[in-house]
Structure 1
Amino acid sequence: MIPTLRVLMHMGSLQRLFPLWLAAMGCLFAFFTPWLLLAILYGVIMQFFVEYAIHRFLLHREPPTEQGIFNQLYRSHIGHHEFPSDAEFFTGDDHWYPVRFGLISVAIHTLILWPFVGLAAAALWSFVALFAGSVSAFAFYEYCHTLAHLNIKKGWFGQRITRSHLAHHFQDHHATFHVSFGMGWIDRLLGTPHDPETARARYDRDTILSMGMDPEDLRLVTARKAYGVKKMPRNVKSARRPART
């Protein structure tokens, strides 16, 4: 647990979200009503669906043809698949993105609730839901994700998370988009659970780490150079290894 928390403490996105989380928790205690507990529950559940949606539809979208946009996707996610044990690629490089996303979400929720409960209550409920509930769920996601990738001794909890998430990396990157513990029901609900037979049919050793792309695709080569990546994914090394005679 300690090595995982040590990595989380240095994550730029969590560092930037922490003051807003503290403020939301302060609002929870200062203006407590049972409605705020419901708001937190809503924020937690919404975040788990956001986690799935971003992973599936944004990070696993069709690779862009424009190199600049592709580089951003590489730094956000493809690089993580190519080098899954490299903590540098556990998160993207835009550490302010979750803050902007959260503030925009608070504004949208406030506008929707305003006509029904008034501006003050709408802003309070939205702020607590997003920055207490959703940020807590986001921190839990980052904990689960980091734990899955660290090569450390793991108990039952860590082993379950690791088996589930690494199946996405090393067996079938078209499935198992949830990461947080206990959220496999979202994949089952939306039709992307891990299925061993389907995974075997899709599996390609040479492209599994590059999310289906040729690992020597010029876009990948250029993106690696752009971010100073001098090593090659493990599947490229194995493909280049001469056969034994």
Structure 2
Amino acid sequence: MIPTLRVLMHMGSLQRLFPFWLVAMALFVSFYSGWLLLALLYGFVLQFFVEYAMHRFLLHREPPTDQGIFNQLYRSHIGHHEFPSDAEFFTGDDHWYPVRFGLISLALHTAVLTLFVGLVPAAIWSFVALFAGSVSAFAFYEYCHTLAHLNIRKGWFGQRITRSHLAHHFQDHHATFHVSFGMGWIDRLFGTAHDLETARARYDRETILSMGMDPEDLRLVTARKAYGVTKMPRGAKRAAS
């Protein structure tokens, strides 16, 4: 647990979200009500759907043809698949993105709720939902994700997370998009749960670490150079030998 928390403490996105989380928790305590508790729970659960949707539809989208956009996708996710044990690729390099995403969500939620409860309650409920509930769920996701990839001694909890998530990396990158513990029902709900037979049919030893792309695709080679990566993915080395 300690090594995992040590990595989390140095994550730029969590560092930037922490002040917002503190303010949200202060609002939750100061204006506590049943509705505010419901808002916090709503934000917590909502984040798990956001986690799934972003992982499946944004990070695993069709690789862009524009090299600049491809480089961003490489840094945010493809590089993590190629080098899953490298902590440098555990997260993207835009550490303000979660803050911007949260503020946009805050504005949208507040605008809708204002129609029903007025501006001030709408703003407070939305802030607590997104920056207390959702940020707590996001921190839990980062904990689970980091724990899955660290080569440390793990108990039952860590082993369950690791088996589930590494199946996405090393068996079938088209399935198991949830990462947080206990959220496998979301994959089952949307038809992307891990299936052993399907995984075997899809599996390609040469491309599994590059999310289905040829490891020597010029876009990948260019992106690696752009971020100073001088090694090849482990599977690509075996395939080339």
**TM-score normalised per structure 2:** 1.00
Percent pairwise identity: 85
1:155-184 CA-to-partner distances (Å, cap 9, x unmatched) read 000000000000000000000000000000
Is 1:76 matched up with 2:70? no
CA distance in 1, matches of 2:62, 2:181: 27
Report the equivalent of 1:16: 16
> How far 1:34 sits from its partner (Å)?
1.1
Report the equivalent of 1:146: 146
Report the equivalent of 2:119: 119
**3-state SS of the aligned residue for 1:108?**
helix
> How far 1:233 sits from its partner (Å)?
0.3
CA distance in 2, matches of 1:168, 1:118: 44
Report the equivalent of 1:2: 2
What is the one-letter code of the residue matched to 1:231? K
CA distance in 1, matches of 2:202, 2:64: 22
Report the equivalent of 2:47: 47
Report the equivalent of 2:199: 199
CA distance in 2, matches of 1:42, 1:19: 21
CA distance in 1, matches of 2:57, 2:115: 32
What is the one-letter code of the residue matched to 2:223? A
1:211-222, aligned counterparts within 5 Å? 211-222=211-222
> How far 1:24 sits from its partner (Å)?
0.1
Number of residues of Structure 1 aligned to a counterpart in Structure 2: 241
CA distance in 2, matches of 1:58, 1:139: 20
Is 1:133 matched up with 2:142? no
> How far 1:45 sits from its partner (Å)?
0.7
Report the equivalent of 1:35: 35
**3-state SS of the aligned residue for 1:79?**
helix
What is the one-letter code of the residue matched to 1:89? F
CA distance in 1, matches of 2:106, 2:210: 35
What is the one-letter code of the residue matched to 1:117? V
**3-state SS of the aligned residue for 2:159?**
helix
> How far 1:236 sits from its partner (Å)?
1.1
> Any unmatched runs of 5+ in structure 1?
none
**3-state SS of the aligned residue for 1:102?**
helix
CA distance in 1, matches of 2:157, 2:100: 32
CA distance in 2, matches of 1:176, 1:202: 14
CA distance in 2, matches of 1:147, 1:115: 42
CA distance in 2, matches of 1:89, 1:180: 18
CA distance in 2, matches of 1:240, 1:60: 25
CA distance in 1, matches of 2:173, 2:99: 28
What is the one-letter code of the residue matched to 1:210? S
Report the equivalent of 1:92: 92
CA distance in 2, matches of 1:130, 1:32: 16
1:32-78 CA-to-partner distances (Å, cap 9, x unmatched) read 11111100110011000000000000000000000000000000000
Is 1:238 matched up with 2:238? yes
**3-state SS of the aligned residue for 2:153?**
coil
Runs of 4+ in structure 1 off by over 2 angstroms are none
